[in-house]
Every structure is written in C-alpha cells, then in structure tokens.
Amino acid sequence: MTARDTILDALRRNRPDPGSHPLPPPATLGDLDAGRERFVASLRLLGGDVMERAAGEPLAAAIARHFPAARMICAAVPGVDGAIPVQDLPDARAADPVDVAVVRAAFGIAETGSIFLSEAQLHLNALAHLAQHLVVLLDPAQLTANLHTAYRRPEFRTARYGVLMSGPSATADIQGVLIRGAQGVRSLSVCFDPS
C-alpha cells in the first residue's frame, strides 16, 4: 500500500464518529468597525507607522523625506519618480539592495492593522521581504473590519502567495526583548491613498 492509502486507511479505522462532530456555520463575531482610526491604532500596536503626505506632495518626495538615506527605491506601483520598477528586477536576489519598496495593498484589516499583499500587487514576492523598508499604499475604502470579514475577500481564493503583514518583522527571541526589524522589513509605513 502507498503511504497515502496507509494513512487514509488508518484514519478511517480510528476516527471518532463523524456524526457526533458537526461543523458549526461560519462565524462573524466581534467588533465590526472597519474605520480608519481603528486600523491605525492596531497598526501602531504592531509597530507599523502611518506616512503622512502634505497636500499635493508627490509620493517620491514624501518617501525621500521619510527615508533620507535611501539610495535604491523600488516600486511595484506606477508614479514614483526615480524608483526602479519592480518589473526591471530580474529575480529575487536583485531585490536584496532595495532600501525602500513601494507597494499597494489589496486591502487592510482594522482589527489587526494588517495589509494584504500577493503576487498581483508585488510581481516579485520576495520584494516585500528583502527590502529594508516597506511603504504601503492603502485605499481607506478597502478596509475590512476583522479577520472574519477579511476571509470573505476574493483575494484568498485567487492569490497563490498572499501575506497579511501586520507591522514590520519582529522578534522577542533574545531574553524577551521586543525588537522591530528582525529579518524581514525593518519598518512598515502605510500611506492612505485612494486608488
């Protein structure tokens, strides 16, 4: 017998009675506030920032103001002057020298301050992890209340790679000290920008 059949066979023999363990209907619980304030508070709790832009300020200028030392900026969105388009990176390794990556999230979650990125937004998935800093454009109309409502979004059924990023990378593995900026991005800044 193949491993597959051996395992499935054993499970069929050993399992508890399926009739006594019905599946509860899908749940939507908790706070259903999908507002921007709730999102920002959650984002900050997880170590993310909001990148404010002065009225009429071009995105490239706001980024330059925020990251004065950045040399290589790579954008997965159009309209960032001076940025390298992600389409020009030949492979994942080419994203290693990127100081700031600029992307647009498909949506955000107010409960957790998370933003969703997939290959549709990134083109090169590793960009969101090899870059030192991440600037995320987010349409405030694309906020959803919490994880229950988020999982109704169609992106989860189409993306092959879909990440909910909630603030920058972090670790508390050394004597419990929380360090933001572990191995992935050192900072994550959300810039509200209606699409």
Partner 1 sequence: MKDKRIDHAGAAAAFIADAPHLAFHDERLWDMRQKRDAQMHLLPEWQELRTLASQIKEHALANLPEYLEQFEENATRNGIRVHWARDGAEHNRIVAEILQARGATTLIKSKSMVTEECDMRPYLAARGITVTETDLGERIQQLDDQLPSHIVVPAVHKLTGDVARVFATHYGTDPKADDPRQLAEAQRQAARPVILHADAGMTGANFAVAETGTFVVCTNEGNADLSATVPGVHIATLGIERLVPRLSDLGVFVRLLSRSALGSPITQYTTHFRGPQDGGEMHVILVDNGRSARLGMADFWTSLKCIRCGACMNTCPVYRRSGGLSYGAVYSGPIGAIIDPTFNERKYSTLPFASTLNGSCTNVCPVRINIHDQLYKWRRVLVDHHQMPFVKREIMHMAGKLMGQPRLYRAAISGTETALGTLPRFALYNWLNPWGRHRELPHPVKETFHAWYRRNRSAPGAADTEKTKTDPTKTGRTKDTGQ
Task: Pick out residues in 45-74 that bind partner 1 (CB under 8 A).
Answer: 45-47
Stretch that binds partner 1, among 54-62, 67-75, 76-84, 120-128 (CB under 8 A): 120-128
Contact between 120 and partner 1 per CB under 8 A: no
Task: For residues 128 and 173, give the distance between their C-alpha atoms in angstroms, rounded to a whole number.
Answer: 22
Q: Evaluate whether 103 touches 134 at the Cβ level (below 8 Å).
A: yes
Burial 2-16 (b: 16+ CB within 10 A, else e): eeeeeeeeeeeeeee
Residue 24 or residue 68: which is nearer to partner 1 going by CB?
A: 24
The residue from 83, 150, 190, 191 that contacts partner 1 (CB under 8 A) is: 150
The residue from 36, 50, 64, 129 that contacts partner 1 (CB under 8 A) is: 129
Residue 121 or residue 149: which is nearer to partner 1 going by CB?
A: 149
Q: What is the CA radius of gyration of the chain?
A: 20
Q: Evaluate whether 32 touches 145 at the Cβ level (below 8 Å).
A: yes
Using CB under 8 A as the binding rule, the residues of this chain from 76 to 95 that contact partner 1 are 92-93
Contact between 10 and partner 1 per CB under 8 A: yes
How many residues bind to partner 1 according to rule CB under 8 A? 75
Q: How far is the CB of 158 from partner 1 (least distance, A)?
A: 8
Q: How far is the CB of 52 from partner 1 (least distance, A)?
A: 23
Contact between 148 and partner 1 per CB under 8 A: yes
| Strand partners for 30 | none
Q: How far is the CB of 157 from partner 1 (least distance, A)?
A: 6
Residue 7 or residue 61: which is nearer to partner 1 going by CB?
A: 7
Angle at 141 (CA atoms; ends 103, 117), nearest 5 degrees: 30
Greatest Cα pair distance, the chain, in angstroms, is 68
State whether residue 1 is helix, strand or coil: coil
Stretch that binds partner 1, among 66-74, 77-85, 98-106, 176-184 (CB under 8 A): 176-184
Contact between 21 and partner 1 per CB under 8 A: yes
Q: Evaluate whether 110 touches 77 at the Cβ level (below 8 Å).
A: no
Tokens 């002057």 — which residue?
Answer: 81
